[in-house]
Amino acid sequence: MANTGKALTGDEVALHNTRESCWIIVHGNVYDVTDFLDDHPGGSKIILKYAGKDATKEYDPIHPPDAITTNLKPEKHLGPVDLATVEKVEEIITNEERARQARLAARPLLSEILNFHDFEAIARVVMPEKAWAYYSSAADDEITNRENHAAFHRIWFRPRILRDVTVVDWSTTILGHKSSMPLYITATALGKLGHPDGELNLTRAAAKHGVIQMIPTLASCSFDEIVDAAAPGQVQFFQLYVNKDREITKRIVEHAEKRGIKGLFITVDAPQLGRREKDMRQKFEAEDPSEVKQAGQGGVDRSQGAARAISSFIDPGLNWSDMQFFKSITKMPLILKGVQCWEDALEAYDMGLAGVVLSNHGGRQLDFARSGIEVLVEVVVNLKEKRGLSFPNEQFQLFIDGGVRRATDVIKAVALGATAVGVGRPFLYAFSSYGQEGVEKALRILHDEFEMNMRLLGARNIKEIVPDMVDASNIHLHTVPVPSDNLYESNYERLQGARIKET
């Protein structure tokens, strides 16, 4: 059926409610997804549940907004529906969901939240299970995920005393743009899984606190929505997943530049998405197991969790020679996100890029990749030795992300030469449990931590946070206790000691 331009009615759409003819409504538009059913990475079952109906509520949290329009041929876009004529989809609230909503309603006041760990603890129990699984999951045995945090424990301070620290100032510039702290909100996908306003929670809170937000390629809100929500003059960066189709990438990059984005962070650590088993298991439970198994033998693999399902467009062929292409299509500073050794940082410098993010993607890609803070140390040493650079450096900026939970973590990174650090999950947890106010509270917590810790360290401004203020001599030693391996250990019962028999 061709799009005639006249709005369809709910009754017309409702007729197409079978596998043979399946129409769905998303955001007031009708799509014929009959031929797409078997290609849907999330399986056909979930689409058929909404056949002939409005699927917007189910669609929104787990798809980037343009997923349906880019995946379906234009002739399958059947045009608008008169929403007044569409029957509301009856929401079935499970007992589990009811219990979750009760926990959400009973969450502590924001004033009782003292640190980032508190947000995480609350998020874990108030988020929908699927959303928690997706955000918190990491690759394989999640060793790198834990190491990201643990690595900061191997760095200790050497504070200076008897300096007048009445006034302390931790504001800085990132890629030449003012930031109230040496920290930015890094890119994380699918914000609406955690909260209906998704990434806009971050944009609005960032505006109030003068921090920079990096907009993800795979946001739940559209790129333009996020840019439109920014306050006048608010600085935003953009994280790019490079599409196999370079024309699409070119369009995205040019659009970002036109909309005023101030830095392009090209993700280079995800030619294939890592195995996040917590996320994958959700999928197994949600789908008809026979369908999942079948998919293993050819066809669309539906066993891979939410992230993998929507990442197939990412180009594993991306390589160094593509950098020339990026230089030719944009004047935005180019930064590689996901560099994991000094050799690649040096290469990026030699290519004239603006910087690198030393990152392992929040432990979500290669398990046993080292932490960003550890890699920072070797990058600073080698770029000094081989190119005479000192850090922080205006021309070639070093960033790290992963495991940051305290202002002291940020201060350690700055002391070791980073311009700024990225923080991802903690802000997701903050808005998943408290919306925009949660993110604002998280930023206020950091503010207070910076003020106190800079005083205690004897650093009055960012320039005074120098390498001599930290002892990172153990950073490369991975001899800290191996984090307990919960997956393995939970399979075993504890040995019992002598016990008094109950009578």
Residues lying near ligand 173 in the complex (CB under 6 A): 189, 218, 270, 273, 307, 310-311, 361, 364
* CB nearer ligand 173, residue 172 or residue 359: 359
Q: Output the CA–CA distances (angstroms, integers) from residue 466 to 3, 155, 237, 462, in the order listed.
A: 64, 14, 27, 8
Nearer to ligand 173 (CB atom), residue 201 or residue 304: 304
Q: How far, in Å, CA of 153 to CA of 158, rounded? A: 14
Tally Cβ neighbours within 10 Å of residue 172: 20
* Sole residue written with tokens 């036109």: 258
CA distance 134 to 127: 11
Q: How far apart are CA 375 and CA 361, in angstroms?
A: 13
Copy the structure tokens of residue 373: 């803070």
Q: Which of 155, 174, 214 is nearest to 372 (CA)?
A: 155
Q: In what order do the strands lie in the sheet with 23-26?
A: 23-26, 29-32, 77-80
Closest distance of CB 48 from ligand 173, Å? 24
Cβ closer to ligand 173: 29 or 217?
A: 217
The residue (of 218 and 418) whose beta carbon lies closer to ligand 173 is 218
Q: How many CB atoms lie within 10 A of CB 50?
A: 21
d(CA 61, CA 157): 42
Strands of 186-294 (E only): list them: 212-215, 236-240, 264-267
Options 54, 118, 269, 409, the catalytic residue: 269
> Closer CB to ligand 173, residue 139 or residue 376?
139
At closest approach, how far in Å is the CB of 361 from ligand 173? 6
We find the least distance from the C-beta atom of residue 362 to ligand 173, in angstroms, to be 6
Instruction: State which residue, 63 or 441, has the beta carbon closest to ligand 173.
Output: 63
Q: What is the CB-side half-sphere exposure of residue 234 using CA atoms within 13 A?
A: 23
Provide, rounded to whole angstroms, the least separation between the CB of residue 172 and ligand 173.
Answer: 27
Omega prior to 392 cis, within 30 of 0:
yes
CB 70 → ligand 173: shortest distance, Å? 14
By beta-carbon proximity to ligand 173, the closer residue of 149 and 361 is 361
In angstroms, give the least distance from the CB of 230 to ligand 173.
22
C-alpha closest to that of 302 among 328, 280, 334, 335: 280
Is 447 among the residues known to form the active site? no
DSSP 74: G
Element at 307 (helix H, strand E): helix 305-309
* Nearest-angstrom CA–CA distance, 325 and 31: 35
Q: Residue 13 or residue 336: which is nearer to ligand 173 going by CB? A: 336
- Give the DSSP per-residue string, 213-225: EEEPTT-SS-HHH
361 is catalytic: yes
Please report how close the Cβ of residue 270 comes to ligand 173 at its closest, in angstroms. Answer: 6
Residue 166 in tokens: 């009445």
Q: Is 241 a catalytic residue?
A: yes
* Distance of closest approach, residue 308 Cβ to ligand 173, in angstroms: 7
Written as six digits, the tokens of 481 are 């206790």
Question: Of 270 and 457, which CB lies nearer to ligand 173 in the complex structure?
Answer: 270
- Which residue lies nearer to ligand 173 by CB, 126 or 138? 138
- Asked if 214 contacts 187 with a C-beta cutoff of 8 angstroms, the reply is yes
Taking the C-alpha atoms of residue 375 and residue 369, their distance in angstroms, rounded to an integer, is 10
Annotated catalytic residue within 361, 367, 401, 429: 361
Rounded Cα gap, residues 205 and 119, in angstroms: 16
**Least distance in Å: CB of 311 to ligand 173?**
3
In sequence order, the 6+-apart residues with CB closer than 8 A to the CB of 264 are: 237, 238, 240, 253, 256, 257, 326, 330, 332, 333, 334, 335
- Least distance (Å) from ligand 173 to the CB of residue 412? 24
Residues 6 or more apart in contact with residue 3 via CB below 8 angstroms: 77, 78, 79
Determine which helix (DSSP H) or strand (DSSP E) holds 458, and give its type and residue range: none
Given 241, 349, 429, 434, which residue is catalytic?
241
Return the active site residues: 241, 269, 361
